Amino acid sequence: MKKLTLDFTPEELGILTTMASDQLFRKQFIDSKMPGFKPNREELDMCKNLVGRLRAIVDEQRTKNASVVEKKVAAR
């Protein structure tokens, strides 16, 4: 699979992650109840994995930002 590199601000990545998570919820719990829905387990698993990775990156960035702010406050 070909890999791509994209640049996002932490805020943009947080918003994208929230939207992806909401879409995953819809795909997993709402769409599955619609008439004619055909589940694609492979795609759903890939989506879960991707949302998990995005959340981990966003959480890591928030932790870094919080520690930088704490250091600045402590330096005063």
Percent pLDDT > 70 in the chain is: 88
What pLDDT, in 10s, does the model give residues 24-66?
999 999 999 999 999 999 999 999 999 999 999 999 988 887 7
Residues 6+ apart with CB under 8 A from 57: 13
pLDDT on residue 37: 94
Measured CA to CA, the distance from residue 23 to residue 29 in angstroms comes to 10
- Exposure of 47 in the CB half-sphere (CA atoms within 13 A): 16
Measured CA to CA, the distance from residue 76 to residue 56 in angstroms comes to 31
Number of CB atoms found within 10 A of residue 30's CB = 10
What pLDDT, in 10s, does the model give residues 3-15?
999 999 989 999 9
pLDDT(19) > 80: yes
- In the numeric block, the tokens 């918003």 are attached to 15
